[in-house]
Structure 1
Amino acid sequence: MTSRDRGFDNNQQENLTLLKVYTVYRVLLCFGLLATFLFSTNIFIIGGLKPNQFFYVTMLYLAVNLVGLVAILPKKTPFNSQQLFANFLFDITFIIVIVDASNGIDSGLGILFVVIIAASSIVLTGQLAALVAAIASIAVIADTTRLMGSGNVETSAFVSAGLLGIIFFITSLLIQNLATRIRKAQVIADDRTSDVLRLQSLNQQIVQRMQTGILVIDQHGNIQLGNAAATEFLTSVTSTSAPINNDLVILPPELMEKFHQWKLTPQLKLAPFRTTQTGRDINANFSVLGSNKGQDTLVFLEDNSRLVQRAQQIKLASLGRLTASIAHEIRNPLSAVSHAAQLLEESDMLNGTDKKLSGIIQNHSKRMNNIIENVLQLSQRTSLNPEKIRLKDWLKNFVTEFEQENSQPFDVAIIDHDQTTDITFDSSQLTQVIANLSHNGLRYSFQNTGAATLTYSIHLNAETSLPVLDVIDEGIGISEAERDHLFEPFYTTETKGTGLGLYISRALCEANEARLDYLRDDNNKSCFRISFPHPDRRLSDE
């Protein structure tokens, strides 16, 4: 619809509203005329020339207007120009009869035509509005001429009738000009309003689609407004995926604490926080909306894993260049040492102690080679190839392949609380993560119970409704002191480990926007939990 069409529709509705007000005016006018006529005791103020004509015509005019008022008040569709013209012609007819019964223009009731002319000039345009003024002028002049012929008015009344006719035309022209300007201004205002609403809608869509969470809070921490990303970050506050828009919702305690810290020291760099034990790390930044104290505050929420991922990529790129430059320098002498130890062990000249030392050399050479391989694998990781995976089916295939690659017997159970759990992940990288966690879990279960057992538990997070995979073993678990260093590179509690397995596993999970955490499950068993993003979320391959 064009601006002109919108303006026309608005004018039609405004004309209908004006006509309803005008009809009420006509009813009140009839009551006023009747009251003035009936309460005149000695001398008639109006209707004195022909009292009966005045009374009955005014009563008929009142009855018609009352019927019209009842009919027009509930009306929704506007009248057309012909109907409006007929309406004003109807008014001129009744008013001229009432004026005639009141001794014509000398009664002063001719001024009532000005209201008719003004109303018609607003709702009608051009020739029709001028025609109403012309008909009213002709009616007044004709009635004055008739009354002059009957001797009821003086000749000077003809001059007054002519002047009144001129006033009618001037009123019509002025009101039409003013109404046209108002309509144009209304069209411009409607266009500006439409542009503002369109820009507001566009801005809202942009904000809602931003990956940065945005909140508007008051000085007490009440959430006034928030986008979809903020809802996703703070899923412990609301269980819906709709944007936050409720001033009764309070910031979660973790974010409220950051808010208070910022208010005390705005220059302080705030540490990341979590709303749940296994939730993502979130960075919060605050900015005051307005210059006065007590104004609302704008909160920016960012996934710290993205920042960590970028920093890690820079670190891995540097590590890759370093390892590429020294790999051959290390591997060549390392291969020579390992080969020499093998040849030395095959010699018949060695005693038992020397063979033991040769074995130590070979074992540590293999360990050093594994470290180089892991570092190279980490620094030269290929780009992501995410795909939609039905987790239970994928785990069944993984267990089958895992059994073929491992000669040691083990027992694995898959528990799926939701048969349709889907995830989005790079399949090869998921294989690497689950294989590493499975090797560790089976080894620790065997050390603690003498049986290599493992459980994969698939379920949805109760707070976020996002898919979760728990890898549960029967080991003694990780102590509180070791948990803080569990995912650090080269940290290990075993003499044979490289300390890179869990570090690589978490890095691969973060690359797929998932999170790997260690915790105790509901049965207090050792558990590594992978919290996946929404399966329909598009992963960023940065």
Structure 2
Amino acid sequence: MTATQQQKAELGPVSPSDQQQQKLFRIYNHYRLVVSLILLGLLFVEPVNLDSSFRLLDYYQAGVAGYFGLNAFVALLILAGFLPSRRHITLSILLDVLIMHWLLLTSTGITNGLANLVIVSVAAGNILTPSRMGFFYAALAAICSLGISGWAVLALDEHADDIVRAGSLGILYFAAAFVLQSISKRMRSSEALASSRAQSLAELERINQQIIQRMRTGILLLDRSGQIRLANAAAEELLFGEPSADRTEQTEGTRMLPQALKLGLESWLRDPTRRIEPFRPFQTSPILQVNFTQLDQERGDQILVFIEDMSKITQQAQQMKLASLGRLTAGIAHEIRNPLGAISHAAQLMEESPHLDQGDLQMLDIIRRHSRRVNGIVENVLDLSRRRTANADLIDVSDWLKEFKEDYLQTQEESAGSIIDLSLAPNIPPARFDKSQIEQVMVNLCDNGLRYSQQQTGQRRIEIRGGATVDGERAYLDVRDTGPGISQEHQGSVFEPFFTTDKSGTGLGLYLARELCEANQAHLSLVDDNQPGCCFRITFAHPGRLI
């Protein structure tokens, strides 16, 4: 630690006014050093004339040498990093006034041109320490000038005009102090007002920054070449899967836009009235819609980009539709289940008849399977209409996955012979979610994975992997099966309601799973990594974000 750093640590933070005072004192000390050097040089320029004109030559020479030595010593201290305080500055001004009058006393008296330098010292004192101390400098200088003049008249029989000149100098001292005190007072008032406004602007900027960073809408500031100047946390998470808090300002300019967004920017620059098609920047991200606007209307070199998560809008529309369907289903569930129960019961009775051939048994099996399917559809739609609000807790993902695997294998009716390979990365961050709702999602994904794995390989086997995202602050879960996978044409539709490739399925399982994930601020996505089977990923929100 240097001497300057140690002194700052001892004194604490330095205010802007103190910094300005220290800067002005350094300038004033340079002036004193130059003056003392000139006075010292004059001793060697005309040494012959000094004996006859100066009262006390030896004392004058000693005073000049001492004044130069003092200023040189202070200059070296400042050069070494010494930060003068207010009392150091006050002491320096007092020494200047006294030394200058000593030089006046030992030279030719008050008529010497050095008296003008006293005015400079008094003025500097009022600038550096704008308080009552400034008038004390003026009073001390006036008393010293009058004292020198009075001593010269009484002891050396000098002319009485020196006293008048000393009085005039005293008036000048007080006039300089008064004028500079008034100017300094106004400057301090203006500085305080400017500091208050700057502080208010800084607070407002911090508030705006916090609001922008906490917005769920992504905001980007680009130049016309697509270089990122500014991005809030939502934009970073939507476009790159990482929050901006983990980035330095050096990486801000080097971050490349996703290709789809870059093409959209080029298209918008050619035709600002054209609307950009929604896109997905990476596999596990939601579908995004962007809107561009020109920030600087005159130059047009900065572009503001608003990024919206289309899945939210789509969910709202589907939720309204399914809520209406749920209310309708709730109203007619009784009417549907009564005849459905009668059909199932009649099928069971017919199975007991000894006169059924193989064709009749196949028809009864069709009746049973489709009755269960209709009942499943009714149950799923009712679940959508009855979905409760998430009650989230901060969960240790590793421990929860181990517990889920054990409970799942023990409670599932068809889990006999099922194998779940659990893979956990080290240092998985905690996640905030409703355990019962995410467990319902995991049961759905595991049931599907085991069923499709058995269809493809004859073995009920899946893998559950837990890990952390690229930023290291959010957890994710992967459920991978060894089934036939999902064709490219159907990958965009797997989360739509009533879409299914299984003849016995209802088409609401994955949709309900994504709805439950979104209710917990998590995102369920299908990962296309060119490996056999399917991989569904649940990416949780940052644990610091409350639901």
Q: Under a length normalisation based on structure 2, what TM-score does the superposition of the two structures give?
A: 0.82
Q: How many matched pairs?
A: 528
Q: CA deviation at 1:526?
A: 1.0
Quote the Cα distance in structure 2 between the aligned partners of 1:285 and 1:244: 25
Among 116, 139, 142, which residue is 1:134 paired with? 139
Conserved in 2, the CA contact under 8 Å of 1:305 and 1:510?
A: no
Whether 1:536 aligns to 2:543 is yes
Aligned to 1:411: 418
Q: CA deviation at 1:221?
A: 1.7
Other structure's SS at 2:186 match: helix
Whether 1:394 aligns to 2:403 is yes
Quote the Cα distance in structure 2 between the aligned partners of 1:84 and 1:392: 69
Q: CA deviation at 1:453?
A: 1.9
Whether 1:144 aligns to 2:144 is no
Among 53, 58, 64, which residue is 1:48 paired with? 53
Quote the Cα distance in structure 2 between the aligned partners of 1:372 and 1:221: 50
What amino acid is the match of 1:272? Answer: P
Aligned to 1:428: 436
Quote the Cα distance in structure 2 between the aligned partners of 1:517 and 1:503: 11
Classify 1:539/1:50 alpha carbon distance in 2 versus 1 (closer, same or farther; 3 Å). closer
Quote the Cα distance in structure 1 between the aligned partners of 2:175 and 2:44: 35
Conserved in 1, the CA contact under 8 Å of 2:405 and 2:420?
A: no
> Percent identity over the alignment?
35
Classify 1:305/1:461 alpha carbon distance in 2 versus 1 (closer, same or farther; 3 Å). farther
Among 80, 92, 98, which residue is 1:93 paired with? 98
Deviation readout 1:489-522 (Å, 9 max, x if unpaired):
3333343333333333333333333344445656
Classify 1:367/1:206 alpha carbon distance in 2 versus 1 (closer, same or farther; 3 Å). closer
Classify 1:196/1:367 alpha carbon distance in 2 versus 1 (closer, same or farther; 3 Å). closer
Aligned to 1:188: 193
Classify 1:372/1:29 alpha carbon distance in 2 versus 1 (closer, same or farther; 3 Å). same
Among 170, 174, 193, which residue is 2:175 paired with? 170
Conserved in 2, the CA contact under 8 Å of 1:458 and 1:470?
A: yes
Conserved in 2, the CA contact under 8 Å of 1:283 and 1:302?
A: yes
Conserved in 2, the CA contact under 8 Å of 1:237 and 1:252?
A: no
What amino acid is the match of 1:310? Answer: Q
Deviation readout 1:394-415 (Å, 9 max, x if unpaired):
3422432344x12x84331313
Quote the Cα distance in structure 1 between the aligned partners of 2:210 and 2:242: 22
Other structure's SS at 2:216 match: coil
Conserved in 2, the CA contact under 8 Å of 1:433 and 1:508?
A: yes
Classify 1:397/1:162 alpha carbon distance in 2 versus 1 (closer, same or farther; 3 Å). same
Conserved in 1, the CA contact under 8 Å of 2:220 and 2:306?
A: yes
What amino acid is the match of 2:68? Answer: L
What amino acid is the match of 2:451? Answer: R
Aligned to 1:481: 489
What amino acid is the match of 2:83? Answer: K
Whether 1:442 aligns to 2:450 is yes
Aligned to 1:507: 515
What amino acid is the match of 2:505? Answer: G
Q: CA deviation at 1:78?
A: 0.6
Quote the Cα distance in structure 2 between the aligned partners of 1:446 and 1:437: 14
Deviation readout 1:173-205 (Å, 9 max, x if unpaired):
222222222223323333333333233233323
What amino acid is the match of 2:319? Answer: Q
Conserved in 2, the CA contact under 8 Å of 1:454 and 1:472?
A: no
Among 264, 274, 285, which residue is 2:270 paired with? 264
Classify 1:87/1:276 alpha carbon distance in 2 versus 1 (closer, same or farther; 3 Å). closer
Aligned to 1:212: 217
Q: CA deviation at 1:263?
A: 2.8
Aligned to 2:7: none
> CA RMSD of the aligned region, Å?
3.7
Classify 1:119/1:482 alpha carbon distance in 2 versus 1 (closer, same or farther; 3 Å). closer
Classify 1:255/1:464 alpha carbon distance in 2 versus 1 (closer, same or farther; 3 Å). farther
Other structure's SS at 1:31 match: helix
Quote the Cα distance in structure 2 between the aligned partners of 1:110 and 1:479: 98
1:22-37 equivalences under 5 Å are 22-36=28-42
Q: CA deviation at 1:363?
A: 4.4
Aligned to 2:297: 291
Among 105, 118, 125, which residue is 1:120 paired with? 125
What amino acid is the match of 1:324? Answer: A
Aligned to 1:253: 259
Deviation readout 1:202-249 (Å, 9 max, x if unpaired):
332333333333332222222222233333333367897347662232
Whether 1:317 aligns to 2:326 is no
Conserved in 1, the CA contact under 8 Å of 2:287 and 2:310?
A: yes
Deviation readout 1:129-168 (Å, 9 max, x if unpaired):
3333233223333433444567886544443332222212
Whether 1:331 aligns to 2:337 is yes
Q: CA deviation at 1:536?
A: 1.7
Whether 1:307 aligns to 2:313 is yes
Conserved in 1, the CA contact under 8 Å of 2:104 and 2:115?
A: yes
What amino acid is the match of 1:401? Answer: Q
Whether 1:377 aligns to 2:383 is yes
User: More deviation in 464-473 or 316-325?
Assistant: 464-473
Q: CA deviation at 1:277?
A: 1.6
| Structure 2: 5+ residue stretches without partners | 1-11
Whether 1:229 aligns to 2:234 is yes
Other structure's SS at 1:299 match: strand
Q: Under a length normalisation based on structure 1, what TM-score does the superposition of the two structures give?
A: 0.83
Other structure's SS at 1:526 match: coil
